[in-house]
Amino acid sequence: MTKETDQLQRRKARFVRGLANSAETMLAGLEENPELPEGMHYFIDIMRDIFVKDQEEHFSNPFCRQDANNRKIIGTYCLMVPEELIYAAGAIPVRLCGGSYEASSIGDEFVPRDTCPVVKASIGFTSLNLISLYQKCDVVIIPTTCDAKRKMGEELSKFTEVWMLEVPHVKESEGSRRQWLEQLYALKKNIEKLTGGRFVCGKIRRRELDSAIKMVGRAQYEARRLYEIRKSFPPVIPGREAMLAINAYSYDTAFEWAKAMTGLNDELEDRRDKGRVVAGSHAPRILLAGSPSIFPNWKIPSLLEEMGAVIVVDESCMGSRYLYDPVGITEKSMTDMMVGIAARYLMPCVCPSFAPNEDRLFRLLQMIEEFNVDGIIYHVLKGCIVYDFELIRVEKIMKEKNIPVLRIETDYSPEDIEQLRTRIEAFVEMLETKKKKIKEG
């Protein structure tokens, strides 16, 4: 072994250890909660398999299990890649948006300094193979959403096969909707080619697509049930647990995930009916808006909930929005299913890379009402221009509703934790006093 590769290996090992440690700390922290629902263990274990045990114990990782079946694995970014098409072709989708500090510091070497940490981490994971998942993907599909993701596609193509999926940015116009549908037909062809299905097996057929839509739909139904449960007052599940459960969908198959989620939801509904709550009615109810928190970057959720607030809802593409909007079809023709899929992945999506994006404001207002939100933490990952841009509008409408908004700009590094703690503490205290005042008079 040359000196250089030796060094590289050692460097990689250091990062892998760092990642495993920080992930394990988060997971162990969640497990310390004596009130942790039984159903949560499944999701915590998925995360542990992926991030902690990955290097040692290959067979616990769900994707290693899948390997045995010789199914293709397709990596996806953002949430505009139609999983239904992937499942229908007999492949497995896995969402790769990265949330690791260690990976993001590796990614630093490949991209400009002001790139957002999601992209840095994703590149870091792929370039050094910190976890085996990234290497296992036969191909990676990247939608052209924000600038960072778009350019990331180019950089990633140095390491792996990349397909770009062109997402129109002005979604209302009929032309862009038609173009999007055509993109999906093209994607369908490509997936079929990959799964070797130009002839019989692997070709996306009506029946398979229909059952894929139902399978993902089932997962969405459960995700919506969790969403409903989080509305309860006082809350029955801390936000960071609910967010982790949803985040775990990235690394699981829709079928297995839905099964586990059904169990968790049943348990939580039972707790709700019995009045077993996780915080009192005085605890401030927070809407976590803005850039996504992706495991193991559980910085903001942990800080917030340590301070006594509860994240009752979030709007991120890794959280509540991930599985919220279902595919609606009325007949089993290929046309109707493709139209339904195209609609689901474009129209209701309120990713800030779209403009105009008024819909997002409507969604936030609806959340404020439905979830009894007391305040908003507006998370801006450093370099995430699109979310930061929309802050102005969000602040404006929330002022009318008298809902305080706190903007927090940060990345994945642990350096600013103490400073953030002080700011969040002050915000939570302010909300508590406000709540008390309203109650008293």
End-to-end Cα spacing for the chain: 74
335 contact, one of another protein, ligand SF4, none, CB 5-8 Å limit per kind: another protein
Site string for another protein, 347-376 (x = CB under 8 A): xx---------xx--xx-xx--x-------
**Binding-site size, another protein (CB under 8 A):** 36
Positive or negative CA dihedral for 312, 318, 320, 323? negative
Instruction: Give residue 146's identity as a one-letter amino acid code.
Output: C
Asked if residue 217 binds another protein (CB under 8 A), the reply is yes
Sole residue written with tokens 């006082």: 234
Q: How far is the CB of 148 from ligand SF4 (least distance, A)?
A: 4
Asked if residue 116 binds ligand SF4 (CB under 6 A), the reply is yes
For residue 223, give both structure tokens.
């995700």
Asked if residue 335 binds another protein (CB under 8 A), the reply is yes
Q: How far is the CB of 315 from ligand SF4 (least distance, A)?
A: 12
Q: How far is the CB of 329 from another protein (least distance, A)?
A: 7
With beta carbons less than 8 A apart as the criterion, state whether 159 and 106 touch: no
Asked if residue 103 binds ligand SF4 (CB under 6 A), the reply is no
* The one among 149, 188, 218, 240 contacting ligand SF4 by CB under 6 A: 149
Q: How far is the CB of 396 from another protein (least distance, A)?
A: 16
Sole residue written with tokens 């790769």: 96
What residues numbered 151-210 form the site for another protein, per CB under 8 A? 172, 174, 178, 206
148 contact, one of ligand SF4, another protein, none, CB 5-8 Å limit per kind: ligand SF4
**Contacts of residue 242, Cβ cutoff 8 Å, sequence gap at least 6:** 226, 230, 311
Pairing of strands 73-76, 92-95: parallel
Asked if residue 36 binds another protein (CB under 8 A), the reply is no
Task: Render 365-395 in DSSP notation, one character per residue.
Answer: HHHHHHTT--EEEEEEETT-HHHHHHHHHHH
With beta carbons less than 8 A apart as the criterion, state whether 121 and 412 touch: yes
Sole residue written with tokens 């079946």: 69
187 contact, one of another protein, ligand SF4, none, CB 5-8 Å limit per kind: none
Asked if residue 96 binds ligand SF4 (CB under 6 A), the reply is no
Q: How far is the CB of 313 from another protein (least distance, A)?
A: 15
Asked if residue 156 binds ligand SF4 (CB under 6 A), the reply is no
Note the helical H segments in 235-330.
239-247, 254-274, 299-306
Alpha-carbon dihedral 259, 223, 315, 148, rounded to 10 degrees: 40
**Contacts of residue 30, Cβ cutoff 8 Å, sequence gap at least 6:** 36, 40, 44, 240, 241, 244
Give 356: exposed, middle or buried? Use CB within 10 Å, 0-12, 13-18, 19+.
exposed
Q: Which is nearer to another protein, 159 or 221 (CB)?
A: 221
Asked if residue 339 binds another protein (CB under 8 A), the reply is yes
Asked if residue 167 binds ligand SF4 (CB under 6 A), the reply is no
> Interface with another protein by CB under 8 A: which residues?
172, 174, 178, 206, 213-214, 217-218, 221, 224, 324-336, 339-340, 343-344, 347-348, 358-359, 362-363, 365-366, 369
> Interface with ligand SF4 by CB under 6 A: which residues?
116, 118-119, 146, 148-149, 291, 381, 384, 386-387
